[in-house]
Amino acid sequence: MIPAHCITRRTALAAVGTLAGPLPSLAEAATLRVAAPADVLLDYGLFLAGRDVADLRSFEGPHARRDVMELALLMREIRRQWPQSGTELVPIDSYQRAFLELRSGRISALGTTVWRMDLDAVGKDAIASPAMLQVGDFVVGLYTAAGNKKALQARDLGAIQTLSAVSNSDWSVDWSTLKALNLRQLTDVKTWRQMVLSVARGRADVLMAPFPNRADLVLEAEGVSLQPVRDVAIALQGSRHLAASRSPGGLAIAEKVFPALAALAGNGSLKRAYQECGFINPRTSRWPVLNK
């Protein structure tokens, strides 16, 4: 078990290995079980850098990004609203497996947001948090290889529609958003690594990705650098939510923690957290959104 408030690079990497065996049922665990991708758990530990998550006042700083902020915010509110609880962080990298574990009750909650459309497909076995991001708030960019002049020079919908893109059809909102843009070609691949390398090697012109929190907006991934198509932004058409299972721990999170998240959304603290971690990016806030 990894105490969630003191996870480090070493413990985060070690935790990835726990996926080799079956996840225990909640009845066998003495703590809440919160799931997130392994890279998020790693950066969460680096972001905390020894700080107690219950004391967080800001989500700025090294290793801050949207999914790390969402996990930190959830963990902070668990500690504040239910201080006597213990929490174990569970690495689950597959988007689809995360829903299976949620439905089965083997995890108490998802620590990063998912699309409402996908959560609704789980049905009554999952409880959605208040919307962390409303419809149209999840604004991303198009990224291409540095040598792809055609993509880099595209500035309007007509020019974008002459390009090819790559995505994962299992990512329902991403896929439907790109389909609606009516691009020249949309290719289905199943991993982020395949997407990045497809664009880097010229097999597709662009992929969608959140703008990174850096001045040049360059996306560094899988050992390559991708450039933003400037003055072009895309709004993904869905709302984003955290989710709890109907296990005892999940029900307690829904009852004790989700109302606190609703209060943060209502008083502007949630939007400020997305700004602090760089997801709401001031460098691109004036870029035209092609599909809004």
The pTM for the full model equals 0.81
Q: Give the per-residue pLDDT at 56.
A: 95
pLDDT band at 163 (very low <50, low <70, confident <90, very high): very high
Q: Which fold has domain 139-235?
A: D-Maltodextrin-Binding Protein; domain 2 (3.40.190)
- CATH 3.40.190.10 in the chain is located at 139-235
pLDDT in tens, 222-236: 899 999 999 999 999
Q: Give the 3-state secondary structure of the chain.
A: CCEHHHCCHHHHHHHHHHHHCCCCCHHHCCCEEEEECHHHHHHHHHHHCCCCHHHCCCCCCCCCCHHHHHHHHHHHHHHHHCCCCCEEEEECCCHHHHHHHHHHCCCCEEEEEEEHHHHHHHHHHEEECCCCECCCCCEEEEEECCCCHHHHCCCCHHHHCCCEEEECCCCHHHHHHHHHHCCCEEEECCCHHHHHHHHHCCCCCEEEECCCCCCCCCEEECCEEEEECCCCEEECCCCEEEEEECCHHHHHHHHHCHHHHHHHHHCCHHHHHHHHCCCCCCCCCCCCECCC
Is residue 3 over pLDDT 90? no
Is residue 8 over pLDDT 70? no
Is residue 16 over pLDDT 80? no
Q: Give the per-residue pLDDT at 141.
A: 96
pLDDT in tens, 106-126: 999 999 999 999 999 999 999
